[in-house]
């Protein structure tokens, strides 16, 4: 039996040299780990539409979705996550803890101080070091 594929989109939002990252809720899969903000793409939804919807729902911001930065695939026990990271610019709202435990603006040097989800770690490596994220 093949595992379910889940398409997820996330945003690399930079402000004054720092990236916006969010912490997963205690009840979420991979609880309390950090990630680039985003979420699942629903059936019939574009990556851009899903990313804008998820960011509004989770942290109350609107973004302009830009360049596709990386694609990462990670296999978990019951499913496979395909994560697409996009460069995004804030165009409305300020981040708040709507549907996340916490959020922070962190420099790339501070990434090592936080524990990221495996897929986000690979995306981060591709973003910062140009490494293959697959």
Cβ neighbors of 36 (< 8 A, separation 6 or more) are 10, 11, 12, 19, 20, 21, 22, 85, 120, 123, 124
For the chain, which domains are there? Answer: 4-129 (3.90.79.10)
Phi, psi of 59 (to 5 degrees): -135, 5
pLDDT value of position 1: 64
Query: In this structure, what is the dihedral angle of CA atoms 72, 88, 103, 50, given to the nearest 10 degrees?
Result: -70
Residue-wise pLDDT for 9-39, tens only, equals 999 999 999 999 999 999 988 899 999 999 9
Task: Give this prediction's pTM.
Answer: 0.89
DSSP 8-state assignment for residue 111: G
Higher pLDDT, 124 or 28: 28
The confidence band for 54, taking pLDDT boundaries of 50, 70 and 90, is: very high
Residue 133 has pLDDT above 60, yes or no: no
Asked if pLDDT for residue 122 goes beyond 60, the answer is yes
């Amino acid at each position: 039996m093949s595992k379910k594929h889940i398409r997820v989109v996330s945003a690399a939002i930079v402000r004054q040299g720092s990236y916006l990252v969010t912490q997963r809720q205690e009840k979420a899969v991979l609880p309390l780990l950090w990630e680039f903000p985003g979420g699942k793409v629903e059936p019939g939804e574009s990556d851009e539409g899903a990313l804008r919807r998820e960011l509004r729902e989770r942290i109350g911001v609107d973004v302009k979705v830009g360049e596709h930065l990386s694609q990462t695939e990670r296999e978990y026990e019951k499913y496979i996550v395909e994560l697409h990271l996009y460069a995004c610019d804030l165009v409305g709202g300020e981040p708040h803890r709507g549907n996340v435990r916490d959020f922070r603006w962190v420099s790339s040097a501070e990434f090592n101080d936080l524990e990221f989800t495996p897929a986000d770690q690979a995306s981060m490596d591709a973003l910062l070091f140009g490494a293959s994220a697959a």
